[in-house]
Structure 1
Amino acid sequence: MNKNLIFPLFALVLLSCSSRNSSEENYSSEKDLSYEIDTVMVDPGDHFFFVKFGLSMSDVDEARKLFYNFNSEEMTMEIIDLENLNLKELRQYEKEGPNGIGGGFIMRIKVLPDESVLFYDFAGIHHVAPNGEKIETYKIEEMEWEGDELSEKQVINISSLDTKDGNYFYGQYGTQGIDSKTDGLVEVDLAEKSLRLFPSDFLAFSTDYDISFDMGGGRRVKLPEQNLVRLVKDEVVIITSAKNQLWRWDLEGDSLINHSYQSQFTSNSKKGNFPASVGENDEFRAAMKEKSKEVNFGSLIEDSKHNILWRYHKEMDRLTAGDSIIFKNVITAFDTDFEQLAESRMPDNFTISNPVFSLDGMLWQYLNIDDEVAFVRVKPTIE
């Protein structure tokens, strides 16, 4: 099955981060951005794709034009050929034994250039070869590290760690639990089993936008902001969903470079017009809805074909008569120096969804059509 729907449409200031340096630049758009949109279906053959969690455990091999979707219930990897839009391979993994990757607690995957896969769980990272044989399991919390030392209360946030080669990882560290706090950034060298810490409270502001739900009996859950550490063009970049800015970790200078941006379509920061703490289910749902109305910034997407970085973000535009939210969805372009080039508003019926990735100069994002896998593709042009 293959269906196409086509719609042609038209920072650097010093700030204190512990004892480290930081600088900032402010940017606004100067060029015009237009785009075309289409939707393509993936032919499943006789297979039923695992869409239960919205392809949340997936990754893309851009060089080979392959999309990896992990079925955590069947422990299988669905590998989709994005050029031919069909299922290329179904790869089986083991839960236990010498090649086991755990009993279904995988929270993230990463495909490496050699086609091996990293499986992240709550205790560590499993590195598995293309043939299913396990290369290594790194139990992050149990390892003895050289270099900088964590305190007794500090841990590495495993889910935050990003890598391109499977050797050097970059992420966040801090305390855990309902009152968790990010204490800074960490570089993990798995080959040498060493840590490098960058103590900083530069992300402390984001806790102002958390929602805490007291469930009673000493149980609490928290809805936090998304603060992501990503390797972009071989630079360590920190992105927040709360503000129109990002930070680059200058590894040589051991400093932060803070880039702030201005949008002509939306607010540049969340306002926090929602309860920070609730005690009932109805209150929690209402608080989450109010929070969803405020601006939310996505991650950066590398377009290697055009050497452009893209980002989506959204904010409520208006409410319908039925109290449904209509969003302003915005696409922004940055150059490889992280300077904002252009931005454009997307159509009202456009919905931003994850995962989003770049291939052949287009931005692809997952779309569920009757529990079948489709991708919405945006082809942007900067003039």
Structure 2
Amino acid sequence: MNKLLIFSIVLAVAACGSKKQSDGASQTRDFSFSLDTVRIDAGEDFIHVNWNLMASDLTSDGRYLYNFRTGASEPALELINLESGKLEKVIPISLDGPNRIRSPYISQVYPQDDGNFFLSDGYELCLFDQAGTKLFALSYAEHDFEGEKLPADMRITLQETLSSDGETLVTLYGDQALEKSPFGVAVFDLEKRQFTYTPLDVFRELDPYRVSIYRDGMAVGGKFAAIRLMLKNDSLIFSNSAKNEVGFYDLKADSLSKKRFSSQYTSSEATPNASNRVETDQEYEQLLKKTNQDVTYGRFFFDEQNQVYWRFAKEMDRMTGDSEVYKTVLTAFDPDFNQLSEKLLSEDFVLPSKYFVRNGMIYTFLNEEDEVAFVRIIPEFGS
């Protein structure tokens, strides 16, 4: 982490060439970038960094980062003003009473344009105002929405995305024990209070990258390829951590398509597992070590100012003594997901779990002795 402190001095990085994608039109739009560091002042309070800002999201105007104190004994939502660089407000959230949340372990925060915000723990979605008053609640398993019902042996999984207007929640669904990859897409229309689901085999392609650990014949955990979802108009955009690709599912037309990419720096996909189950902790630890060295593709996130989608990828490059040295790649795609250019970042760069784009700059979270900072990647595109 200390190595990243050198990024407080802006570093000019030379541009590198792009490589053709394996699907879609070939284009060229190269970029260079520099780096700097900004820090957040928490004042007399503190910012919850225990979960590396994983339960946080940016407001649509880019002014605030809403960060939930997930797992805290006194849950709350923090409003971090990114313009002033200060923690501006803390909204307490109750675990009891009419404004309660089901669990202090929130996984998704969805800020709304009117200042309200949704909180989700993967089982329940709740809408709150700035006073912490609950305005709406949806239980995924026990909802009373009209329309279809999931089969009894199926459940909503932990992958979800909410439309920008807060009216449509799209999730995946699968088996009750979550032993297999998702079976399809489920849609909650929050405005009309309707529910539908559609089987899709495309997610089952990720079964070779999924392993469950069993104890006494029951699955108690596992390791699997992460699936990321975005909603744009009527199109569900999905990607995963194991393959260099992106998929599109048209919710209205019930049509499916994909684009595949290639990289001059990383493997085209992670290594499939030899088995889908392990029985001991030792086997599981060996599996985790192997998969952590494999290529991992991050989520796509859109840069309004530069009109590109960005995506990080990470893969072990080599061993230096007993230490693993990783390479991190930043790739730009146009709004139609045609690959434009990719850059290999410095070995000193450590890719965090939380990053987002604001004002054409990529903010990557840096924990500086439990204080919040962001290493910013500042791209510049050629003409």
TM-score normalised per structure 2: 0.89
Q: 1:5 aligns with which of 9, 13, 28?
A: 9
* Segments of 4+ moved more than 3 angstroms: 24-31, 215-219, 232-235, 273-277
- Residue 151 of structure 1 corresponds to 151
- Residue 264 of structure 1 corresponds to 264
Once the 2 structures are TM-superposed, how far is the Cα of residue 327 of structure 1 from its aligned partner?
1.4
CA distance in structure 2 between the aligned counterparts of 1:178 and 1:184, rounded to whole angstroms: 13
- Residue 352 of structure 2 corresponds to 353
Structure 2 counterpart SS, 1:262? coil
CA distance in structure 1 between the aligned counterparts of 2:289 and 2:158, rounded to whole angstroms: 29
What's the CA shift string for 1:241-262, capped at 9, x where partnerless?
1101111112332111211111
What's the CA shift string for 1:111-165, capped at 9, x where partnerless?
1222211111243111111221111111121123333442121222254243322
CA distance in structure 1 between the aligned counterparts of 2:314 and 2:106, rounded to whole angstroms: 29
Q: Which letter does structure 2 place at the counterpart of 1:7?
A: L
Deviates more, 1:282-291 or 1:354-363: 282-291
- Structure 1 gaps of 5+ residues are 11-23
Deviates more, 1:311-320 or 1:226-235: 226-235
Q: 1:45 aligns with which of 39, 43, 52?
A: 43
What's the CA shift string for 1:16-54, capped at 9, x where partnerless?
xxxxxxxx9446663423111111111121222211111
Q: Which letter does structure 2 place at the counterpart of 1:333?
A: A
- Structure 2 gaps of 5+ residues are 1-6, 15-21
- Residue 120 of structure 2 corresponds to 120
CA distance in structure 2 between the aligned counterparts of 1:53 and 1:345, rounded to whole angstroms: 27
Instruction: Give the direction of change, closer, same or farther, for the CA distance of 1:376–1:27 in structure 2 (3 Å limit).
Output: farther
RMSD of equivalent CA atoms: 2.2
Instruction: Give the direction of change, closer, same or farther, for the CA distance of 1:245–1:102 in structure 2 (3 Å limit).
Output: same
Q: Does 1:130 align with 2:134?
A: no
- Residue 227 of structure 1 corresponds to 227
Once the 2 structures are TM-superposed, how far is the Cα of residue 339 of structure 1 from its aligned partner?
1.1
Give the paired residue count: 367
Instruction: Give the direction of change, closer, same or farther, for the CA distance of 1:277–1:29 in structure 2 (3 Å limit).
Output: farther
Structure 2 counterpart SS, 1:131? coil
CA distance in structure 2 between the aligned counterparts of 1:286 and 1:158, rounded to whole angstroms: 25
Q: Equivalences for 1:125-274 in 2 at 5 Å? A: 125-157=125-157, 159-216=159-216, 218=218, 220-232=220-232, 235-272=235-272
Q: Which letter does structure 1 place at the counterpart of 2:351?
A: I
Q: Which letter does structure 1 place at the counterpart of 2:10?
A: I
Once the 2 structures are TM-superposed, how far is the Cα of residue 275 of structure 1 from its aligned partner?
5.9
- Residue 334 of structure 1 corresponds to 333
Instruction: Give the direction of change, closer, same or farther, for the CA distance of 1:75–1:216 in structure 2 (3 Å limit).
Output: same
TM-score normalised per structure 1: 0.89
Q: Equivalences for 1:83-122 in 2 at 5 Å? A: 83-122=83-122
What's the CA shift string for 1:83-132, capped at 9, x where partnerless?
12111111212221121223424232211222211111243111111221
2:53 and 2:67 in contact (8 A); partners too: yes
Structure 1 counterpart SS, 2:196? strand
